[in-house]
Amino acid sequence: MLELDNVHAYYGKSHILQGISFRVGEGEIVSLLGRNGAGRSTTIKTIMGEVAAVGSIRFKGERIDGLKPHQIARLGLGYVPEDREIFPSLTVRENLLLGKKSPEQTGRWSLDDTFELFPLLRERADTPGGVLSGGEQQMLTICRTLMGDPDLIMVDEPTEGLAPKLVELVRGLLEKIAERGIAILLIEQKLTIALAISRRLYVMGHGHIVFEGEPHDLRANDAVRKEWLEV
């Protein structure tokens, strides 16, 4: 569904992504792991058209490198940024409705679907987004992205800074999304979550892919974990 082939990206003269290649298949949860500064967030921003790419990026068989972010989103690629970017003065309901590509859009996700996934959002439907907790804002951001009816969502550090109970809620939400056939590209610092829910994993280091495999492969590879993941 999503394929990167020898992709490079730059911030000014800094060569951030140095020829990365990977794929995400239909309905898969694939995690992109690595330490801060490895290039994981830049990878998602490059896929989404926020950073210029050199190389090939294909989504559902079509080249998307060179397209603008709104054009990529309309093809069915959703993006949940690390900083959440909710509208604090708008209510939960209004934030969710802004996720729709158009007022007339119909798809796999409705307000009721998102409320069913995370019932607390229903309770807070008329509450300004800015007064929600960090975990609630994270759920709101994910659900807002679903309102755009994506075929694949890219989620950047969804459990960062959350209490353990909310971490488990986020994990459960991602699993429920995947059960509906939506592919997920996950950037995650918590290795235990990535190992538990991913079908395949990639590890990045210094702008390169340094490991590719299934969860059991990474569990068995002490050298990769120690060199590229553990602090």
Asked whether the beta carbons of 211 and 228 are under 8 A apart, the reply is yes
* Distance in angstroms (rounded) separating the CA atoms of residues 55 and 65: 8
What are the tens digits of pLDDT across the range 153-166?
999 988 887 888 88
State both tokens at 135. 């975990």
* Distance in angstroms (rounded) separating the CA atoms of residues 210 and 52: 23
Mean pLDDT of 20-45: 94
H/E stretch holding 9 reads: strand 2-11
CATH number of this structure's domain 2-228, picked from the four choices 3.30.1330.60, 3.40.50.300, 2.30.30.180, 2.30.110.10: 3.40.50.300
pLDDT at 103: 65
pTM value is 0.90
What are the tens digits of pLDDT across the range 110-130?
888 888 878 888 999 999 999
Alpha-carbon radius of gyration of the chain: 17
pLDDT at 82: 83
State both tokens at 218. 């990474």
DSSP secondary structure letter of residue 216? H
